Amino acid sequence: MRYLLVLACGLLLPSRAWARPMSQPATQPGDPTIRDYMAREAARLDEAFADDLTSAEDWNRRRPSLLEEYFYMLGLSPRPDRTPLNAAVTRTLAGDGYVVEMLHFQSRPHLYVTANLYRPPSVEPGRRLPAVLYVCGHSNRGRNGNKTAYQSHGIWFARHGYVCLTLDSLQLGEIAAIHHGTYRENRWWWQSRGYTPAGVECWNGIRAIDYLISRSDVDPDRIGVTGISGGGAATFWIAAADDRVKVAVPVSGMADLACYVGDQIINGHCDCMFLYNAFGWPWTRIAALIGPRPMLFANSDRDPIFPMNANERISARLERFYSMFGAGDRFDTIVSIGGHAYRRDLRQAAFRFLNSWLKNDPAEVADSEVDLVIEDGNRVTHPIEPERLRVFPNDSDIPADQLNTRIDEYFVPIGRPSLPAAGRYAAWRESLVRELRRVTFRFVPDRVPPARELDAPSPGQWRLATEDGIEATLRRVAGPGPARARRVVLVVAETGSAPQTPDWLIEFVQPDDEIYLCEPRGVGRNAWTRTNPPNYVERSLALLGRTADLGRAWDVAATARHVRQTAGEALPIWVAGRGAAGIIAAVAALFEPEIHGVVAVEPPPDFMDAHAPVFLNVLRVCDVPEVLGLLAPRPLRVRGPGSLDVSRVRAIYAAAGAPDGLAVE
């Protein structure tokens, strides 16, 4: 008999699937360069954890600001209001040495969290018990919720004098939403919105603790959190965010960037396992926010999605971190022999560690293997039939006002800057650009260096190095030659575009324009493999604090500087693009002040649009009209605006004193 195996991407797999490689075959010419680039950046960020090991005093001084960055990267800044929980118990169930309460609460209005609360059958009046928040991994139990797969833990805790609250996760709960927005569903606006389901799981855990401490039978000073896989990751999210957690036992819940990105292990994980690393953190810093509170870092030696090389690196870093506080005894590790699953030694270690720190009882645990959920082939045996643990017994009981299935559209507020008043454009622009630099363009220098010529594969075509290890391609497609040209037009290539002047540019260009086509990273001869799922490159870049489109804007800015240097500094240079490429051209112009003007053809109306470019957190600051308005007073031509709110762009240009700088066709 084997204990139920659960995989972080939300699928139940047979044991033979553990040997499946996480890496994706390289099928495109740009694969080697982008993969090497990302691996280097991941290693560089991981190494920065050394900066966190200077002294306990320095860490304590920095911790408040780091915590604010952490909340921001989870989509929790500003902090949601602690609205009434409206907790309700729908049913109770009495078992052998325990009672289960089927309950729900609202972590935010209409965001329902379904849970099972396990407690002893009776508690002496006035006595308060230690509590454990159990956060579930990705075990598909359908309408019953994934909490039912972990019922043996709740039973054990209740029989040993704990109150244990076991939460359904967002995707696999009774009201099932989505964890796979960028992994599978092409909801790339999640990144522009700054939305990750990790933020929801963290907030639901924080509010679950609010509920626990509201109970008369819970000791608010003795609360622990634990879980495996997706629950292991949620253990980190919650314990790092909430100091009321006194003990944390994450089981198979964290690797590092070298593993996720360099070794492509991200491909085995869904989106709830990650935040968007806008501030360029070493991943171990998340775990360090828990210290020096007690933590047991539990893993398995043949776990394909939390490999031992990453476990050992994280353990070594945390050992040093805890020792910096003189608290080495509060951090411990356990390695179990086997794959991604619970086994006796993991359960015993977790229970014993929680007993030691919450009950001052370090005795060995001898009864961890009672009432387990057992998988035997296709048959699964539960101590309690899962249907009996439903909070909403019938589909008709599910609240009609639930927002769970659309919470990605509401969870993170959109930034809606007011329009600048006349004469106040400069201050308005400075404020927006400063915030975009802080949370969206953080890795872009004040001035993007000019691209370097590598070679000319053919006449009129050049390979350019725009960053170390990143290439763009420049093609000359038309014009009288630089010596006779009056203007340079740099066209941003779209995926699949032909190496010639695009039809949509014909009405704009003049006979004496020198026209170049820029193929930035991921486009044309620089294309990389895109397989949905798991969208390896685009998801990995977010873990490095950037996006593919941010890199493309960098490439366009670097190429524009190179063209000006080679074609003649006196020639004005315009950048032009259609659809997403037009907005990429506009962002490149924000980076490069010597770009004279921008042509945006058929631009997306907003960054929620399926065809919009993706920039981390941009929607928390502003939207497409404001990005275009930031170009003022430089000339901007918008052709085919569609549903773009042109009136906002006009108002911004008017406030800049350049109403004629905007032309809309």
Whether residue 197 is found in the same domain as residue 267: yes
Helix 425-439 with 646-655: angle, nearest 10 deg: 120
Cβ-Cβ contacts under 8 Å for 234 (sequence gap 6 or more): 135, 169, 198, 201, 202, 205, 227, 253, 272
Supply angle C-alpha 135, 80, 285, rounded to 5.
Answer: 55
pLDDT interval class at 625 (50, 70, 90): very high
Whether residue 338 is found in the same domain as residue 485: no
What's the average model confidence in pLDDT over 221-233?
98
Q: How far apart are CA 204 and CA 107, in angstroms?
A: 6
Nearest to 624 by CA among 634, 458, 611, 279: 611
Residue 181 is assigned to a structural domain of this protein: yes
Q: What is the pLDDT of residue 56?
A: 98
pLDDT interval class at 20 (50, 70, 90): very low
What's the average model confidence in pLDDT over 509-522?
94
User: With 50 as the cut, is the pLDDT of residue 530 above it?
Assistant: yes
Q: What is the pLDDT of residue 496?
A: 66
Residue tagged 């998988």 (tokens): 375
Q: What is the pLDDT of residue 494?
A: 87
Q: What is the pLDDT of residue 334?
A: 98
Residue 290 is assigned to a structural domain of this protein: yes
Nearest to 571 by CA among 442, 640, 482: 482
Among residues 374, 409, 444, which one ends one of the domains?
409
Residue tagged 């040209």 (tokens): 485
Whether residue 580 is found in the same domain as residue 477: yes
What's the average model confidence in pLDDT over 472-497?
88
Whether residue 391 is found in the same domain as residue 448: no
pLDDT interval class at 568 (50, 70, 90): confident
Q: How many CA atoms lie within 13 A of 193 on its CB side?
A: 22
Which residue blocks in 363-466 are alpha helix, DSSP H?
A: 425-439
User: With 80 as the cut, is the pLDDT of residue 19 above it?
Assistant: no
Cβ-Cβ contacts under 8 Å for 574 (sequence gap 6 or more): 487, 488, 489, 490, 595, 596, 597, 598, 599
Q: What is the pLDDT of residue 16?
A: 30
User: With 50 as the cut, is the pLDDT of residue 5 above it?
Assistant: no
Nearest to 328 by CA among 320, 339, 336: 320
- For the stretch 284-314, pLDDT in tens is 999 999 999 999 999 999 999 999 999 999 9
Whether residue 405 is found in the same domain as residue 429: no
Whether residue 372 is found in the same domain as residue 499: no
Among residues 353, 378, 409, which one ends one of the domains?
409
Residue 417 is assigned to a structural domain of this protein: no
Q: What is the pLDDT of residue 499?
A: 65
Residue 600 is assigned to a structural domain of this protein: yes
Residue 28 is assigned to a structural domain of this protein: no
The mean predicted confidence, pLDDT, of the chain is 94
User: With 90 as the cut, is the pLDDT of residue 566 above it?
Assistant: no
Whether residue 473 is found in the same domain as residue 573: yes
Q: Report whether 273 contacts 226 (CB < 8 A).
A: no
Query: How far, in whole angstroms, is CA 47 from its chain's centroid?
Result: 20
Q: What is the pLDDT of residue 1?
A: 28
Q: How far apart are CA 167 and CA 133, in angstroms?
A: 8
Residue 251 is assigned to a structural domain of this protein: yes
Q: Where is pLDDT greater, at 45 or 14?
A: 45
For residue 314, give both structure tokens: 């994280």
User: With 90 as the cut, is the pLDDT of residue 25 above it?
Assistant: no
Whether residue 254 is found in the same domain as residue 151: yes
**Buried b / exposed e along 217-234 (16+ C-beta atoms within 10 A):** bbbeebbbbbbbbbbbbb
Whether residue 448 is found in the same domain as residue 366: no
Whether residue 471 is found in the same domain as residue 590: yes
Please give the tally of structural domains in the chain: 2
Q: Report whether 247 contacts 354 (CB < 8 A).
A: yes
Q: What is the pLDDT of residue 411?
A: 98
- For the stretch 173-188, pLDDT in tens is 999 999 999 999 999 9
Cβ-Cβ contacts under 8 Å for 611 (sequence gap 6 or more): 579, 580, 604
For residue 495, give both structure tokens: 């995926």
- For the stretch 65-92, pLDDT in tens is 999 999 999 999 999 999 999 999 999 9
User: With 70 as the cut, is the pLDDT of residue 161 above it?
Assistant: yes
Q: Where is pLDDT greater, at 2 or 662?
A: 662
pLDDT interval class at 17 (50, 70, 90): very low
Residue 8 is assigned to a structural domain of this protein: no
Supply angle C-alpha 118, 227, 87, rounded to 5.
Answer: 45
Whether residue 397 is found in the same domain as residue 431: no
pLDDT interval class at 506 (50, 70, 90): confident
- The CA distances from residue 43 to 307, 310, 313, 565, in Å, are 16, 12, 12, 34
For residue 606, give both structure tokens: 């907003």
**Can you give the residue range of the structural domain that contains 490?**
425-664
Percent of the chain at pLDDT exceeding 90: 88
User: With 70 as the cut, is the pLDDT of residue 637 above it?
Assistant: yes
Q: What is the pLDDT of residue 570?
A: 82
Q: What is the pLDDT of residue 6?
A: 38
Query: How far, in whole angstroms, is CA 183 from its chain's centroid?
Result: 11
Q: What is the pLDDT of residue 498?
A: 65
Burial class (CB in 10 A: 0-12, 13-18, 19+), 12: middle
We report the CATH number of the domain holding residue 583 as: 3.40.50.1820
Whether residue 439 is found in the same domain as residue 401: no
User: With 80 as the cut, is the pLDDT of residue 495 above it?
Assistant: no
- For the stretch 348-387, pLDDT in tens is 999 999 999 999 999 999 999 999 999 888 889 999 999 9
Residue tagged 């001898």 (tokens): 366
User: With 90 as the cut, is the pLDDT of residue 427 above it?
Assistant: yes
Residue 465 is assigned to a structural domain of this protein: yes
Nearest to 188 by CA among 528, 618, 642: 618
Among residues 409, 441, 476, which one ends one of the domains?
409
